[in-house]
Amino acid sequence: AQTVTQSQPEMSVQEAETVTLSCTYDTSESDYYLFWYKQPPSRQMILVIRQEAYKQQNATENRFSVNFQKAAKSFSLKISDSQLGDAAMYFCAYRGPNYGGSQGNLIFGKGTKLSVKP
């Protein structure tokens, strides 16, 4: 069974600084997808960034980027120029190959609570 591990229950960063959130996963699949979701106090699940396993290039979305190490099964999120609005719970999630809807569900890590200090 696939598992996702986030080893940092809480992290803190100074405004405008950079922070990296860690995530490791375990799977026997070669084709899969990885995601980082942000959950602010409103509890809305917001997609931050996604990575397809077959792509070697690390995904980037504005201030958010990932370091995807497929062999090490590691998928860390880097937030640059941190802003107060980045404070939230961040979940790393895995999704297997999706054929006709099957195996399309997400498996989440336990989450990392990020605090941003002004």
Partner 1 sequence: AAGVIQSPRHLIKEKRETATLKCYPIPRHDTVYWYQQGPGQDPQFLISFYEKMQSDKGSIPDRFSAQQFSDYHSELNMSSLELGDSALYFCASSWGERAGSTEAFFGQGTRLTVV
Where does this chain bind partner 1 (CB under 8 A)? 33, 35, 42-47, 50, 52, 91, 95, 98-111
CB of 56 to partner 1, least distance (A): 16
Encoding tokens for residue 77? 């999120």
Residue closer to partner 1, measured from CB, 51 or 82 = 51
Are the CB atoms for 98 and 31 separated by under 8 Å?
A: no
CB of 84 to partner 1, least distance (A): 22
Residue closer to partner 1, measured from CB, 16 or 70 = 70
Tell me the residue ranges of DSSP E strands in the chain.
3-5, 10-14, 19-21, 24-26, 33-39, 46-52, 60-61, 64-69, 74-79, 88-95, 106-108, 112-117
Distance CA 27, CA 20 (A): 23
CB of 15 to partner 1, least distance (A): 26
Nearest to 32 by CA among 87, 92, 82: 92
Residue closer to partner 1, measured from CB, 73 or 95 = 95
Residue closer to partner 1, measured from CB, 52 or 81 = 52
CB of 54 to partner 1, least distance (A): 11
